[in-house]
Amino acid sequence: MIDENIEIVDIASSDEDFELLKNDLALINEGINKLKDEILLSGEFDKNNCYIEIHSGAGGTESNDWANMIKRMYLRYFTKADYKFEIVSEQPGEEVGIKGVTINVKAINAFGFLKGETGVHRLVRISPFDSNKRRHTSFASVLVTPEIDTTVNINIKDEDLRIDVYRSSGAGGQSVNTSDSAVRITHLPTNIVVTCQNERSQIKNKEKAMEILKSKLYILEKETVDKKLNELKGAVMDVNFGSQIRNYVMCPYSMVKDLRTLEETSDVQGVLDGNIERFLESYLRS
């Protein structure tokens, strides 16, 4: 497309030619921006599916309704972006809205694109539940975590093992064979050592020791994954004043503003209808 437009520039002679160039340039810029986003999605879990948890803050009816509005905003965005999603659990509010909901989002780079939504979201509006039509402030928290395959495949390389055979200790006779049948396996990268001498043969002892080693490595791997998940979640959020990442103001003026990237728009209703791409992209590029 770029080569073709260079040729058009050389021979362009009318407003129609330049209008074609303008349209193609917009498409080229859009493609470049998408490529930039792909490059930025290089985190360990960025390509994974994810879970989005939404929880209402203090305030009962107001916050429950706000949490439900955020849920609607995301579901509309997922539909527009052609993301598959499933509501895993939901707790309704006593009167309106929801206290909490967990949504499983399935799409390439789902976690990478949505991870910036983690934080406290603040709404300012004239409350539809206040007969005096006063302005209210509501809070809700959003937490985005990657979906990780919990079936950890333990692949043990032969070169990572040191296997020692030694004489079993015990009563001998029918209970334990006193030949050199006991096995000690050392996993060199982790320095985990397992031994087995209860079986009657060296082969059986080795098989049992390998089972124990795999179990230990599985636990170690799971602890590592859990630690990474906790790091991604960060500190427990205080769902209150001063802790928000984004403000949604409907009164006395209209504005949605991200306090981290300073991205903003006056189209509050458009954002609540799922048009959140500008905020996702600005967070990735910030």
Q: What is the pLDDT of residues 103-128, one digit of tens each?
A: 999 999 999 999 999 999 999 999 88
pLDDT score at 11: 52
The pair of three-digit structure tokens given for residue 174, joined into one six-digit string? 């029918």
Pick the CATH number of 50-151+236-285 from 3.40.50.2000, 3.40.50.300, 3.30.200.20, 3.30.70.1660: 3.30.70.1660
Query: Which CATH number is 158-227 given?
Result: 3.30.160.20
- Please give the average per-residue pLDDT across 266-283, as a whole number: 96
The pair of three-digit structure tokens given for residue 282, joined into one six-digit string? 């600005």
Q: Give the three-class secondary structure for 202.
A: helix
The pair of three-digit structure tokens given for residue 236, joined into one six-digit string? 């427990």
pLDDT score at 21: 66
Pairing of strands 98-106, 84-92: antiparallel
Polymer length in residues for the chain: 286
* Domain boundaries of the chain, sorted by first residue: 2-40, 50-151+236-285, 158-227
Residue keyed to tokens 């349209």: 23
pLDDT score at 178: 55
With beta carbons less than 8 A apart as the criterion, state whether 188 and 160 touch.
yes
Residue pLDDT, tens place only, 54-105:
999 987 899 999 999 999 999 999 999 999 999 998 999 988 999 999 999 9
| Burial class (CB within 10 angstroms; exposed 0-12, middle 13-18, buried 19+) of 242 | exposed
Q: Give the three-class secondary structure for 140.
A: strand
- The yes-or-no verdict on residue 32 having pLDDT over 60 is yes
pLDDT score at 49: 92
Pick from 54, 87, 50, 84: which is nearest to 68 by CA? 54
Sign of CA dihedral 97, 114, 145, 119: negative
Residue pLDDT, tens place only, 150-170:
555 778 899 999 999 887 655
- Bridge partners (DSSP) of residue 144 are 52
Residue keyed to tokens 């043990």: 156
* 232, containing H or E segment: helix 202-233
From residue 124, alpha-carbon distances to 15, 34, 118, 121 in Å are 47, 33, 19, 10
> Cis peptide before 252, with omega less than 30 degrees from 0?
yes
Query: Quick one: DSSP state of residue 76?
Result: H
Judge if 50-151+236-285 and 158-227 fold alike in CATH terms.
no
